[in-house]
A and B are shown apart, each in its own frame.
Chain A
Amino acid sequence: MTPGQLCIAAMGALGTGCASVDEMAAHMGIERKRASQAACRLIRRGLVERLERGSYQLSEAGRTMLTSDDVLKFGQISANRRRAPSLGSLRQRAWNAMRLTRKFTLADIVTLAANELDGNPEHNLHRYFRALTLAGFLAELPTRSPGTALTSNGYKRWLLVRDSGETAPTVQVRAGIVVDHNTGETHSILRPGEGRHVAP
């Protein structure tokens, strides 16, 4: 059974009442884990609501969907509804650090945000900074911070100019946008006139 079919079966298992994950799994004849995954997927779509831990029922939208002739489609959810980054992600930690310091270099943020599990934080955050700058969250400052190497040109300094809230904006490369999860707004990172996005 595909994940989409599982979700439709889970909605049928819930019907008009409420059910636990175990009851759903028993009704559908599948593993408990897969029933739980189907419930989570339906919650993200707003079709199921969690009454308490482990107990679910159809939401108003779910009941309407079940009784109507609408086709339930699964797959990639739309760009604007992408989930915010998890609290532990490098970019979320970097965003926290940017909000704390306001004016910073890439090195400052890497020092504050990166940990030993991050693969190549400089590269990742360099692309993130570029996207945030194009989207208008960051502005480059005119003076550079001096570098330590002999021939260093110094480090670019940035200023956080749009602090929209605690959740880090996410970059959608293919759509060419940055999604601000605090306000729900999207900001284009397309180069003016080129119709071509950078690769953050």
Chain B
Amino acid sequence: MKNVFVETENVSRFHAALGALDRRGASEACLLVVDGRPGLGKTTALNRWAAQTGAVYVRAKAEWTAAWFLRDLLTELRVQHAHAYSKNFELALGALASRQSAMIVQKRTFAVVIDEADHISRDGRIMESIRDFSDLADIVFVLVGMGRIRDNLVRFPQIISRVAQFVRFDQSTREDVRRFLDTICEVPVADDLCDFVHAVTEGYNREIKECIATIERFGRRNGAGPDNPVRISDMAGQVICNARATGLPIIVPEI
């Protein structure tokens, strides 16, 4: 399997939302919410974006408090934290603002990515701290979660009004599956097998990659090439991946 990142429609939507955020009308609307079920490539997409742009990335913990959040943020910013919450807030604001200034000079978007943000989306104190950072220094926060953020934020009208963009990661389309097969699979795959992969994986990236590993092994063993792509009939009787819902193996049918 090739080590290449696949730009799916979800990723394109995320980049479009970032572009729209840059052109936002209200400067205080600095929040971007990315949500979707597990296994759709949210964390990989956000990790890649953070690695490419130098964004700050923190992972929320189940028991995060506002003070713990600030300490983790300061650790990520390589700033020695103090004891008082007010002092830590001041230190974090200063460090974020200076990083943002350095990025603006280079015409880059600076943001803080908070992964697993479902843990904090019901915590008023943490969300208010994020709102303060946004209001005081126009710092962009990207909240990544598994679908509960949007509902939880409804409780905080002053915060949900600052969400400039919502991006929902959906299951991959048939075109996305084709893109996966064309980009990272090292053997050519016929359209009928592509349709089968799309159907059995329900468009979940993890399962698609599992299928690709199986197809690749099969194709290499059986001499697949540009004139002889792997077809569904070739793989009849092979286990292609495990079903997400049941964990049972999925066997390619005889056609």
Contact = CB atoms under 8 A, between A and B. Distances in A.
A31 interface: no
Interface majority SS (helix, strand, loop, mixed), chain A: helix
Given A87-B106, A150-B221, A96 B3 contact: no
A167 to B, nearest CB: 10
A100 B51 contact: yes
A106 B212 CA distance: 19
Contacts of B51: 93-94, 96-97, 100, 112-113
Contact of A149 (B5, B54, B212, B217): B217
A182 B77 CA distance: 12
B93 interface: no
A137 B141 CA distance: 30
B52 A148 contact: no
Interface stretch (B42-50, B199-207, B246-254): B42-50
A107 B1 CA distance: 10
B52 A149 contact: no
Contacts of B1: 148
Nearest to B56: A166
Interface in A149-186: 149-150, 165-166, 182
Interface residues of A, number: 24
A101 interface: yes
Given A149-B216, A150-B220, A165-B78, A97 B47 contact: yes
A100 B78 contact: no
A64 interface: no
Interface string B190-230: 00000000000000000000001100110011000000000
Contact of A93 (B44, B52, B216): B52
Q: Which of B48, B50, B108, B220 has the most CB of A within 10 A?
A: B48
Interface of A: 87, 92-94, 96-97, 100-101, 106-107, 110-115, 121-122, 148-150, 165-166, 182
10 contacts: A87-B54, A87-B108, A96-B51, A107-B3, A110-B3, A114-B5, A122-B3, A150-B221, A165-B78, A166-B78
